[in-house]
């Protein structure tokens, strides 16, 4: 009987198949270069799992390529440039859908990704701060920044109660009246308000247009940010 010999990476073997002696069916696959094993069990079993295991073994040590053709590492699925491009496209789509405000109509904090404002990573206390920041760092003013929404400081009364009753006898929670629950809720609400703590989060439904070019009033998401324009 002429048994095929195993050769590591000298012939274009796509992956090794592991079979029971005398059987044709592969029960597992191994990378032809490093021998790492991939079994259908790792993918939950079944016909799809078999194909997935084979694919994993075939591609285990293979050079990976991004959809643009650039070489990428094993842990990447896409190259940096494509990722940035996708991100930009997503932003432009979001911008197209967003309600647009002029900077003069808006006084709250704003978000500009990739830049450090006085409120942390990307967060500036207002549009003026963005303008100053650009002037100080010799940067071009962005066409728009995102508006931010106030995140109220609040404590969930039911979460507190759940935790408080955790160790108690079954049914203990039912002994607490709805009135008492509401009393606590009101207390927590008042207490939170007194703390004067507020955070802001990016609101991608509202964009703030920076009036650099002297009035971009009739901009309905077209023109300034046409798809494919190398806007920065």
Under the rule (CB under 5 A), what is the footprint of Zn ion? 31, 33-34, 36, 60-61, 66, 68, 70, 79, 82
Q: Which CB, 58 or 91, lies closer to Zn ion?
A: 58
Name the token pair of 171: 């049914």
Q: Which CB, 82 or 224, lies closer to Zn ion?
A: 82
Residue 114 vs residues 111, 123, 145, 152, 210: alpha-carbon distances, Å: 9, 10, 12, 25, 17
Q: Which CB, 34 or 151, lies closer to Zn ion?
A: 34
Q: Computed from CA positions of residues 75, 29, 49, 45, in that sequence, does the dihedral angle turn out positive or negative?
A: negative
Smallest distance, Zn ion to C-beta of residue 165, A: 53
CB of 125 within 8 A of CB of 150? no
Smallest distance, Zn ion to C-beta of residue 142, A: 25
Residue 80 C-alpha from the chain's centroid: 15
Smallest distance, Zn ion to C-beta of residue 30, A: 8
Q: Which CB, 22 or 69, lies closer to Zn ion?
A: 69
| β-pairing verdict for 144-151 and 199-209 | antiparallel
Smallest distance, Zn ion to C-beta of residue 58, A: 10
């Amino acid at each position: 009987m002429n048994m095929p010999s195993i050769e590591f990476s000298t012939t274009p073997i796509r992956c090794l198949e592991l079979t029971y002696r005398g059987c044709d069916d592969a029960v597992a696959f191994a990378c032809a270069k490093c021998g790492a094993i991939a079994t259908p069990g790792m993918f939950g079993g079944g016909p799809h799992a078999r194909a997935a295991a084979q694919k994993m073994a075939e591609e285990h040590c293979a050079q990976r390529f991004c959809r643009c053709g650039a070489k990428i590492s094993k842990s990447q699925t896409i190259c940096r440039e494509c990722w940035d491009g996708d991100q930009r496209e997503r932003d432009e789509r979001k911008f197209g859908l967003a309600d647009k405000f002029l900077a003069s109509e808006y006084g709250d904090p704003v978000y500009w990704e990739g830049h450090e404002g006085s409120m942390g990573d990307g967060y500036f206390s207002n549009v003026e701060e963005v303008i100053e920041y650009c002037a100080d760092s010799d940067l071009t003013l962005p066409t728009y920044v995102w508006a931010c929404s106030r995140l109220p400081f609040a404590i969930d009364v039911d979460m507190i109660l759940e935790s408080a009753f955790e160790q108690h006898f079954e049914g203990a929670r039912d002994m607490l009246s709805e009135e008492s629950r509401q009393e606590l809720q009101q207390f927590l609400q008042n207490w939170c308000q007194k703390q004067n703590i507020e955070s802001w989060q990016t609101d991608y439904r509202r964009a703030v247009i920076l009036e650099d070019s002297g009035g971009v009033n009739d901009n309905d998401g077209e023109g300034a940010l046409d798809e494919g324009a190398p806007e920065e």
